[in-house]
Amino acid sequence: MRPRTALSNVEWRKSSYSGSNGGDCVEVAEGHAADSVPVRDSKNPSGPVVTVGAHAWRAFVQGLR
């Protein structure tokens, strides 16, 4: 996990598939290091952040498509 202070200047992006009600979804941080992708629960934005390697994240997203 990455310290919250390291993520204070990032913009969080939620999937467009999460719906207009806010839905149960994850958010990913933009504007972070190119080698990792911070991920958090959109229902708990002040909760823990998991950092996933960029290569693993790309493979995960490709698998969803």
pLDDT of residue 26: 85
DSSP-based three-state secondary structure for 65: coil
DSSP designation for 1:
-
Q: How far apart are CA 45 and CA 56, in angstroms?
A: 23
Which domain range does residue 12 map to?
4-64
Consecutive 10-residue averages of pLDDT for the chain (65 residues): 65 76 78 83 88 91 87
Q: How many domains does the chain have?
A: 1
